[in-house]
Structure 1
Amino acid sequence: MKALVLTGGKGTRLRPLTHTSAKQLVPVANKPVLFYGLEAIRDAGITSVGMVVGDTADEVRAAVGDGSRFGLDVTYIRQQAPLGLAHCVLIARDFLADEPFVMYLGDNFLVGGITDLVEAFERADYDAQILLTRVAEPQFYGVAELGPGGEIVGLQEKPEHPRSDLAIVGVYIFSPAVHEAVRAVTPSARGELEITDAIAWLIGNGSRVHSHLVSGYWKDTGRLQDMLECNRIVLERVEPDIRGTVDGLSEISGRVVVEPGAVVENSVLRGPIVIGANTKILSSYVGPFTSIGSGCLIENAEIEYSIVLDGSSVQGVSRVAHSLIGRNVEVSRANGVANTHQLMVGDHSRIQVRA
């Protein structure tokens, strides 16, 4: 079995961050979302991976390389424009050959991996296996409608009026039968070749399409609140690990990771949190569910339930929460009344906030 990992798309819901960075490489607990998916593929025993790339191809290549760091052999497949998930299968035909494959959306986060799903597919005689989960806002996803026996009776792609709350998780498993399906479908009203249309074609032509309801945690990390929630889920599982320098005036409680080269002075760290390598935390409070990247500076500041990317600084700010701060950003004190700041900041930015 092979894997097809999709890393195209513009990440419009995470702008301005994704103007300068691939959405799949935004970190959760200081590790890019994409890496969790690659590790899940490897753990399922799959080693041959086709990586569909778009405008951020150079950045993805630089991060993933040839895949050897993950125990994978990666082949890059360029998609000239975001023309849909079925189009990704279409252009990957030569790589996929006549083998079954997992299609994994690189910005999806699935706790528990895919090993059991791959094994179930290999034991059965399915042409497609799709994962479903109940969501509060199905209009943002592909949606499946099930019959009384649990069979799939309809599929919708980001419908204005969803007929169910069962979202299609961004992990699929297909037999080679899908190649005929993606050739048969036509562009949707969005101008894309939809994978939901290809799956509907399979169902309409008598193929066996199996659905599986995900009981564990899944998120499409396309929005700020989803990134922060994924960060929380991962941080809840970290083990305390202090490898940096913490002075005697600092207080540490809970699950706290301080990576090598980091310095913590006269500060309070309340886990679960991760402090990246060579970061300085000076006279500050870092609260639960926060990940601070490498080479950052947090000084005379308070921050919690946030993600701060590499090379950024937060100085003299009384409270930052529910925020995603890009790379090489400076957040500093401005005159005014103290309050809570909510930020979503792109790379190489400079901000002044009321402190």
Structure 2
Amino acid sequence: MKIIVPMAGMGKRMRPHTLTVPKPLVPIAGKPIVQRLVEDIAKVCHEPIEEVAFIIGDFGKDVENRLLKIAESVGARGTITYQDKPLGTAHAILCAKESLEGNVVVAFADTLFKADFTLDTSADGTIWVQQVEDPRPFGVVKLNDNGEITDFVEKPEHFVSDLAIIGIYYFKDGAYLREELQYLLDNNILDKGEFQLTNALENMKNKGTRFIPGKISEWLDCGNKDATVYTNQRYLSYLQDSEDLVAGSAQINNSVVIPPVFIGENVILDNAVVGPYVSIGNGTQVSDSVISNSIVQENTVIKFANITNSMLGSFVSYKGTQADLSLGDYNALKE
């Protein structure tokens, strides 16, 4: 099994948190979004992962090395390819065409999911979907009476289905997918100005490929600050009974920790109340403060603050009062 992870986008809706790191490396419950995604896919595949192919922009060697280590963490070989221009989902996947062989899962790195099933690798293809109230911003699918996918529609202006494609796909034959993606580019077949994966899926279906919908229990978005804070909350809830989320090197002095929380290595809490639903990265110091439902990254200093529904980056210095914050790396703020 191979996992293809397109993640070359700029993550503009997550600024300022994506000014120094790409969005998929923003932490959720102590691990980058993309690591959570790869680990969750590996769990449902129930077979060895041979390769994780990351499709990125010009993110630098440090990011590339971190991605290769994520692949190693699931026992796979990591590879890096590049998408220089945002030309659509089909173009993004085809940037890793050398990896499109055999059983393949394609997972776009701006979404997470929770599911309790084993992937059926005998199916031609599986498209994970979730029912949504407003399907217009999404690609959607229509089903027949047998539960098979009959149509793919990209961002419908009028209602055709409320089953949104969440951005995770399984293909039994990666080489066949590669051929269909290449066909779109060779023939300049555009949809809304971009090369869309849904067009390739429609062509494959018309040639006899049988696609079935994948069922998930929860779809978690990381598209903006509020959505990411909520996703962090949900992951902490999932993990609190299965993982030790407080590092042994953390110093907790005259403080109250209300689970579920993640507290990283060498964190110092003095006269603080932390939790519930808080993730605090390595080396951060919190004193005389109350923090709930928030993500605080590494080596940040917080004093005299009451913070909720917030994201603070790394190397932030914040001294203040009650707030709903979104502060990127290396900011300093005093009130």
For residue 207 of structure 2, what is the amino acid of its counterpart? N
Q: Deviations over 1:124-157 (max 9, x none)?
A: 3x1x321111134433332223345544343333
For residue 319 of structure 2, what is the amino acid of its counterpart? S
- Work out the CA distance in 1 between the residues paired with 2:308 and 2:233: 13
The answer (yes or no) to whether the contact 1:256–1:270 under 8 Å persists in 2 is no
- Work out the CA distance in 2 between the residues paired with 1:59 and 1:193: 30
SS at match of 2:208: coil
The answer (yes or no) to whether the contact 1:20–1:347 under 8 Å persists in 2 is yes
SS at match of 1:229: helix
- Are 1:53 and 2:56 matched, yes or no? yes
Give identity over the alignment, percent. Answer: 30
**Residues 1-355 of structure 1 aligned to structure 2 (within 5 Å):** 1-43=1-43, 44=45, 45-65=48-68, 67-97=71-101, 99-112=102-115, 116-117=118-119, 120=120, 122-124=121-123, 126=124, 128-147=125-144, 149-174=146-171, 175=173, 176-185=175-184, 186-189=189-192, 191-214=193-216, 216-239=217-240, 257-317=245-305, 319-333=306-320, 340-353=322-335
SS at match of 2:238: coil
SS at match of 1:323: strand
How many corresponding residue pairs?
325
What's the offset of the Cα at 1:315? Answer: 0.9
Q: Deviations over 1:222-260 (max 9, x none)?
A: 22232122211221234489xxxxxxxxxxxxx984313
- Work out the CA distance in 2 between the residues paired with 1:87 and 1:105: 13
Q: Deviations over 1:71-101 (max 9, x none)?
A: 111121121122222113322222324x231
The answer (yes or no) to whether the contact 2:149–2:210 under 8 Å persists in 1 is no
Consecutive unaligned residues of structure 1, counting only runs of 5 or more, are: 242-254
TM-score (normalizing by structure 2): 0.88
SS at match of 1:298: strand
Q: Deviations over 1:244-279 (max 9, x none)?
A: xxxxxxxxxxx9843132211122211111111111
SS at match of 2:195: coil
For residue 316 of structure 2, what is the amino acid of its counterpart? V
- Work out the CA distance in 2 between the residues paired with 1:57 and 1:150: 44
TM-score (normalizing by structure 1): 0.83
The answer (yes or no) to whether the contact 2:147–2:212 under 8 Å persists in 1 is no
- Work out the CA distance in 1 between the residues paired with 2:202 and 2:190: 14
The answer (yes or no) to whether the contact 2:6–2:93 under 8 Å persists in 1 is no
CA RMSD in angstroms, aligned pairs only: 2.4
SS at match of 2:334: strand
The answer (yes or no) to whether the contact 2:271–2:287 under 8 Å persists in 1 is yes
